[in-house]
Amino acid sequence: MNQAAQCNKLSKSLLIEMYGKIVRIRAFEAKVTQLFLRGLVPGTIHLSTGQEAVAVGATSCLRPTDRVMLTHRPHGQALAKGMDPKKLLAEILGRADGCCHGKGGSMHLADPPVGIMPSLPIVGAGIPIAAGIAFAFKYDASDSVAMGFFGDGATNIGAFHETMNLAALWKLPVVYVCENNLYAVSTRIQSATLVEKLSEKAKLYGMPASTVDGNDVEAVYLCASEAVDRARRGEGPSFIECKTYRHSGHSRTDPATYRDEEEVKEWMQRDPLILCRRAILKRGYLDDKGCSDLAAEEEQLIEVAAQFALSSPEPEGMKALEDVYKDG
């Protein structure tokens, strides 16, 4: 079946739900930026603005009991998997009501009840951990699935190759989602690897691997659904390369002057939020007002999250010593 025919099979409610999530992530990161500029965010932040369709499409076919490993660019992935924006924003501000009680900040998130495992900002570190989570699922004869997110840059590290090999060999129930945004900090992908399609790297180890338009939430969803179903059936891992683009620099301190203006313009025209809204309008799932009303609801949700996070207290000093060692 070709992709256009498959896309028509997505239900109205699913596409609208995914649009809502994209809008939520976009509004959330706009709020984080505002708070950062007011000096309220400790450390730096890595925004996923422009890449939202990857996180939303990939996680929308997961169950709450499935588990994900996030990256150093995790806000969208966390919200898409179901983290409460209030807990996430409070964490980013280092407040007591954050998902890690303010100890983690933007890059060290965890929320096990919704399947978000403690994540690390070390590039590629989540790749073997996702395989470990999948190994545990298999060992327990559970039909749950692990999903590991990482960037294009991470496909050049040793742990990526070792893990692809073992995950395929052991038929682990894991889905790897590569956010190929064409850059690792300021290094353009062509300066880091001669492999043009990153999916080829995983295919070599004996697993199904595809390259999809990461700005098309439906394409990501369809590919991820197939991969998740396969993992649930016990048939092993899959790899999905999602071609996408970040709207801003690597982090807040990066003006991204190494990017060509034309390239930026082209990708901005393929903004995943615009593409999803266009698909909804074209199919008559919602009209313009319907889309705007939904967006306004999501924006309001983020306003409420901001008020919650800003009124959350700073953690007490002694709490820093809690959750460090396991009792007994």
Ligand X SMILES: Cc1ncc(C[n+]2csc(CCOP(=O)(O)OP(=O)(O)O)c2C)c(N)n1
To 5 degrees, how large is the angle CA 217–CA 222–CA 223? Answer: 100
Please spell the DSSP secondary structure of 165-194, one letter per residue: HHHHHTT--EEEEEEE-SEETTEEGGGT-S
**Nearest distance, CB of residue 183 and ligand X, angstroms:** 6
Does residue 101 touch ligand X according to CB under 6 A? Answer: no
Select from 74, 151, 237, 315 the one that contacts Mg ion (CB under 5 A). Answer: 151
Please spell the DSSP secondary structure of 77-106, one letter per residue: HHHHHT--HHHHHHHHTT-TTSTTTTSS-T
- Show the binding pattern over residues 172-211: x = contacts Mg ion (CB under 5 A), - = does not: ---------x--x---------------------------
Report how far residue 8's alpha carbon sits from residue 221's, in angstroms, rounded to the nearest whole number.
12
What b/e readout covers 280-309, taking b as 16+ CB neighbours within 10 angstroms?
beeeebbeeeebeebbeebbebbeebbebb
Does residue 152 touch Mg ion according to CB under 5 A? Answer: yes
Specify the amino acid at residue 162: E
- Strand, coil or helix: what is 28? helix
Nearest to 168 by CA among 139, 207, 133: 207
- Strand, coil or helix: what is 294? helix
**Nearest distance, CB of residue 25 and Mg ion, angstroms:** 18
Query: Which residue shows structure tokens 């052991």?
Result: 170
Q: Nearer to Mg ion by C-beta: 184 or 222?
A: 184
Nearest to 123 by CA among 81, 158, 164, 151: 151
User: Backbone phi, then psi, for 278, in 5-degree steps?
Assistant: -60, -40
**Nearest distance, CB of residue 181 and Mg ion, angstroms:** 4
**Nearest distance, CB of residue 268 and ligand X, angstroms:** 17
Does residue 123 touch ligand X according to CB under 6 A? Answer: yes
**Nearest distance, CB of residue 178 and ligand X, angstroms:** 9
Question: How many residues form the binding site for Mg ion (CB under 5 A)?
Answer: 4
- Which of these segments, 148-156, 253-261, 265-273, 317-325, binds ligand X (CB under 6 A)? 148-156
Q: Nearer to Mg ion by C-beta: 6 or 187?
A: 187
Nearest position to Mg ion, beta carbon = 151
Select from 26, 72, 243, 277 the one that contacts ligand X (CB under 6 A). Answer: 72
**Nearest distance, CB of residue 129 and ligand X, angstroms:** 14
- Show the binding pattern over residues 228-257: x = contacts ligand X (CB under 6 A), - = does not: ----------------------x-------
Which residues, 165 to 194, sit near ligand X by CB under 6 A?
179, 181, 183-185
Relative to beta strand 209-213, strand 238-243 is parallel
To 5 degrees, how large is the angle CA 131–CA 135–CA 136? Answer: 120
Select from 3, 63, 64, 122 the one that contacts ligand X (CB under 6 A). Answer: 122
**Nearest distance, CB of residue 244 and ligand X, angstroms:** 9
Q: Nearer to Mg ion by C-beta: 6 or 251?
A: 251
Binding site for ligand X (CB under 6 A): 72-73, 121-123, 150-154, 179, 181, 183-185, 250
